[in-house]
Amino acid sequence: MAVSSGPQIALTDEERFPLLDDLSFLNALRQDVFAPKFNFKSGDRLNTAQLSKVHFHKKKYYNEKIFWNEEQAPVWVNDYLKWCLKTVPFYQNKGNDLDSFPTISREDIRNFPHLFVSNEANLEELLVYHTSGSTGPKLDVLFDAVSQASWLPQIESVLQDFNITITEGKNTTAIALICAQEKTLTYASLSTYLEGAGILKINLNPSEWNQPDHAVKYLEKYNPQILTGDPIAFMALLDLKPQLTPKALISSAMKLTTGTKNKLEIYFKCPVIDLYSLTECRNIGYATEMGHKVIRPDLYLEVFDEHKDVRLPYGERGELVVTGGNNPFLPLIRYRTGDFCSLKIENGVPFLVDLEARNPVVFYTKSNVKINNIDISNRLSELPLAGFKMHQRKDRGIEFLGYSNEVTAKEITEVLKTIFKNDIDVLADIQKISQNNTVEKTLYSSELI
Amino acid sequence: MLMSKYDVFELVTYLRKCPDTFFKPSDFFLEGGIHSIALVYDTYRLVSNDFLRNEFEIPSNLGTINDNHWRAIHISTWLLSNPDFINNPVIEDKLYNFWFVELQQASVYVKFNEWINDDERAEEMVRLLLYCCEIMPYGENQDEAADKLSSLSSVERHKVLKQSYEAHERIMQIKREMEEQKAREAANTYGRE
């Protein structure tokens, strides 16, 4: 038998939704005349004990308003560390207190995922997510149904800041994850935590639908309360001009420029929230004017020197390092995220200032003046670009590829020339956003490093 | 040359000279075997220097002691006949724990003849006896003595091996589960990461 590269449908609906008796809404979502050609099935897998754990996490996310302050790490860190040292093989003999604990990297998780599993974790609850590797080599992330479903209360705590709540119940679609890709897994599902509300993962790619106008008709019919996705997918959706009334759009995985955010907010008439999340620990924070506001009281964040295991003081820029989480299959101690920012605490709540995804890159003008990529991000953020890639060649020429249905290559060239003090050659290209894009997340690269 | 009292090396040398007759089975298992109770009582008398006593502490369930354990006790009585232990009444009430608790646990992992034939096991018996009798080996402090016993202990070694085996088994199990689960549907994804 040929070995398939992707996951296979392997469960019954009873196994997908052990606590839901009425699956009629699920069947309606799956069998609708406008429904896409769903290629997968999925459930939240929550049993009674697991569901109560998700509710327990919800209380924590809602009730804890002071996470920690600059003088003192959160009180739970010591116990968490002791638990990890006692039950997680990877951490044994690595150190006794957080101050002297070494950082770990994505490489460690990629090479030894099995060593991060706590001895207390029930292997019958193990789930595996195989990441696409859009920002690096592929990675197997181990988790359980509780840590996965905790996404919902985490997002509810964000929405609370906007006075938005998700309506529960079996006749409403709570979340639709919108994709605009060549290929991805798509399915209709339900959320036990949201009392049977619908969950959709759909791909706008026309080849996934029976008729070209079905994507819009389907979405309009079920009118999801919350749309999630990346900026490219949202711009592809905007292009279809659907008549939807979402309560919020939640953008993640790629940088959301102010220009794109404004366009989406104007059209959908709701907040567009720029969420920072990692596969390794789920949601961390969302963008505000002060920086990304951290939403997880069960995570302790520090900033480290990029190359040395040296913790940096508050306010100093470096690599974001995470400790904590609620995943017994991947408990993190000082995990280097690969993302860069400085930390600021306001009334006990941490903010990630000037968060930039992955490798910080310095560019140079022809006469060798340094240009920081944060300055480039800030300027480009004003344009309605759904995403972009920028590369500096050895001869200092800049190659720029943007994704937008509005911005022109000429405009980009002008902006970049201004940033580079009119001392640079720019080759700019703009790709129109379609309903099936192939986009890499990597923003900046250079041959001069 | 004057021997240093409780010198581990010298006690090991003494133990390894144990006559073959101590290796014989107990009379609980073989007619004509060693009269185990008499040997234990004689050792009690030797240690306590009280040759008129006829009552010493022994377990009520002697029938449950297995052959290998009895033979380990026999061998240890030879060790206790060393002048270091004779006429040493303070250790009398420590011997019950040594014979019937500690030696019982170690005997699960050590064949009786290894107490003599194997250098490390001989040292283990000597150190175990000194530990039970709360006697510090010559030239060692408490930490050194504890470290050395711990590194020799068959019970500890078995525990470590068992833990290591269990850890290995667990990792193999995780890897198997990972392969299986990777190929199957997981759980709902709600947003991009």
Q: B160 touching A, CB under 8 A?
A: no
Span A286-295, average pLDDT: 96
Q: B17 touching A, CB under 8 A?
A: no
| A441, pLDDT greater than 80 | no
Nearest to A388 by CA among A343, A340, A341, A426: A426
For B166, other C-beta atoms within 10 Å of its C-beta total: 11
Span B15-40, average pLDDT: 94
Of the pLDDT bands very low, low, confident and very high (cuts 50, 70, 90), residue B1 is: very low
Mean residue pLDDT across chain A:
92
> B150-174 pLDDT, tens per residue?
999 988 888 888 888 888 899 999 9
Dihedral (C-alpha) A293, A298, A303, A305: value to the nearest 10 degrees?
-140
CA B132, CA B124: separation in Å to the nearest integer? 12
- Out of B174, B186, B187, name the one closest to residue A117 (CB): B174
Instruction: Tell me, yes or no, if the pTM score tops 0.80.
Output: no
Long-range contacts of A3-6 (CB under 8 A, 24+ apart): A4/B183, A6/A185
% of chain A surpassing 90 pLDDT = 76
Nearest to B69 by CA among B13, B111, B35, B32: B111
> A65-78 pLDDT, tens per residue?
899 999 899 999 99
| A290, pLDDT greater than 60 | yes
CA A375, CA A362: separation in Å to the nearest integer? 10
- Joined together, the tokens standing for residue A405 give 């249905």
Per-residue pLDDT at A440 = 66
- Amino acid at site B82: N
- Which is it for the CA torsion B61, B65, B70, B73, positive or negative? negative
Check: CB of residue A273 under 8 Å from CB of residue B184.
no
Of the pLDDT bands very low, low, confident and very high (cuts 50, 70, 90), residue A387 is: confident
Per-residue pLDDT at A75 = 92
Please state which of the ranges A81-95, A192-206, A346-360, A368-382 shows the lowest mean pLDDT. Answer: A368-382
**CB B191 to CB A229 under 8 A?**
yes
Per-residue pLDDT at A3 = 39
CA B92, CA A111: separation in Å to the nearest integer? 57
Strand arrangement of the beta sheet that strand A426-431 belongs to: A426-431, A398-403, A387-392, A444-446
Of the pLDDT bands very low, low, confident and very high (cuts 50, 70, 90), residue A375 is: confident
**CB A114 to CB B171 under 8 A?**
yes
Q: Give A172's DSSP letter.
A: S
In Å, what is the CA distance from B46 to each residue of A156, A207, A324, B77, B145? 78, 95, 62, 10, 26
Could you give phi then psi for residue B157, rounded to 5 degrees? -60, -40
- Out of A8, A130, A252, name the one closest to residue B192 (CB): A252
Per-residue pLDDT at A182 = 83
Question: Cβ contacts of residue A107 below 8 Å, gap of 6+?
Answer: none
Span A366-377, average pLDDT: 84
Span B60-77, average pLDDT: 94
**CB A128 to CB B190 under 8 A?**
no
In terms of DSSP H, where are the helices of chain B? 8-15, 36-48, 67-80, 95-97, 103-107, 114-117, 119-132, 142-152, 154-182
Does ipTM exceed 0.90?
Answer: no
CA B13, CA A380: separation in Å to the nearest integer? 83
Contacts of A230 in chain B (CB under 8 A): 192
Of the pLDDT bands very low, low, confident and very high (cuts 50, 70, 90), residue A137 is: low
For A232, other C-beta atoms within 10 Å of its C-beta total: 28
Of the pLDDT bands very low, low, confident and very high (cuts 50, 70, 90), residue A46 is: very high
Q: B101 touching A, CB under 8 A?
A: no
> A142-163 pLDDT, tens per residue?
999 999 999 999 999 999 999 9
> A313-351 pLDDT, tens per residue?
999 999 999 999 999 999 999 999 999 999 999 999 999
CA A29, CA A173: separation in Å to the nearest integer? 9
Contacts of B177 in chain A (CB under 8 A): 123, 126
Q: A252 touching B, CB under 8 A?
A: yes
**B190 three-class SS:** coil
Of the pLDDT bands very low, low, confident and very high (cuts 50, 70, 90), residue A4 is: very low
- Joined together, the tokens standing for residue A427 give 């080759």
| A134, pLDDT greater than 60 | no
Of the pLDDT bands very low, low, confident and very high (cuts 50, 70, 90), residue A136 is: low
